[in-house]
Amino acid sequence: MVLVTGATGVLGRVIALELVKRGEKVRACKRLGSDLADVRKSYQNYTSNADFYFDQIDWVDLDFNKHHSLYKALQDITDVYHCAAKISFDPKDRDEVLETGIVCTRNLLRACLYMPVKKFLFVSSAATLRIDKKGLESQIKDHDSVQMYSPYVISKYIAEKMVWSAYKEGLNTVIINPAMIIGSGNRQKNSQLLDIFMADRITFPGGTSCVDVRDVAKIAISLIEKNIFGERFCVSADNVLYKDLAGQVRNIAGLPKPILLTKSLLKVLKYFRPLLKVVDHNARFLTDENIKFICDYQYYSNKKIKNAIAWNFYPVAESIRFHYGNYLTDKSA
């Protein structure tokens, strides 16, 4: 039996769906009070048998901080896909991001080493592939040092180290580092790429790599099926500038072209953040680490994963069209 954590998230739900479509028995973990109706509805975007596949999944509440909850969820489990994470760049969510990314991963790994789990896939982030480890370690030890990285990146970096330690202790682990994921569903709790660029006309000078959620889910499953362990793989389809990505999304949606904010202007606006927050709640994101992130070119190579499993990715333009179609369907429903 297979366990998927974070199964109501944009990626976790698709991994769970792909697994049951392949005939796997799946136990999907969620938080108490999660909206399963949203998950069921979103499956209509990916299959004509949405209700059938949804009903094949064993949905369970999981509290990572309670041992009995963890061990109960891991009963009869051989494979684990750990997707649970708090994705936020809002300073007020710092503690929750670190708690979910670090403590929950640590507790799950300890339980997996104790239970007869054979395979473990960890969903990290491509953002950990280009870090200055010395600078990051300094930031972890001294919170008053220069804030180069967001709590989300820190949580993934530390969690990766714990996954490698578990591998050395005998657990078959593999890590995937997805680029920015283009997906559908869960819009009430996650800020989706399409929503961001449609809701706000402002864009930024940096660039990023993108990948379709369908590719990430199928690659994760393929790595486990092929028993590829002790490695990590960047999962990325295309490299694009934020302004071009925003332009594609807004063009498909029939919206005006985006307005580019320069790095120098963002740095000036940062000093007026307390005042700007009064008129625009989004001004709270104007922190040093966030400005650095959106002005940088977060480009990543998919050469390693292509060599490992010979994968053909959905082009970003096709992904945007597909998921925007899902957006319209969800909105009309």
Between CA 68 and CA 114 the distance in angstroms is 13
**CB-CB contact of 12 with 2 (8 Å):** no
Of 182, 186, 160, which is closest to residue 173 (Cα–Cα)? 160
pLDDT at 13: 96
- Helix, strand or coil, per DSSP, at residue 32: coil
> What residues form DSSP beta bridges with 81?
4, 121
The single-letter DSSP state of residue 284 is G
CATH code of the domain covering residue 287: 3.40.50.720
- Helix, strand or coil, per DSSP, at residue 206: coil
Between CA 290 and CA 283 the distance in angstroms is 11
pLDDT at 190: 39
**What is the reported pTM?**
0.88
**CB-CB contact of 305 with 234 (8 Å):** yes
pLDDT in tens, 311-331: 999 999 899 889 888 877 776
φ/ψ bin of 317: left (φ > 0), alpha (ψ from -120 to 50), beta (otherwise):
alpha
Q: In the chain, which residues have pLDDT < 70?
A: 143-147, 186-199, 272, 275-285, 331-333
> What residues form DSSP beta bridges with 297?
207
Q: Range of 77's domain?
A: 2-332
Structure token pair of residue 67: 């041992």
- Count of domains in the chain? 1
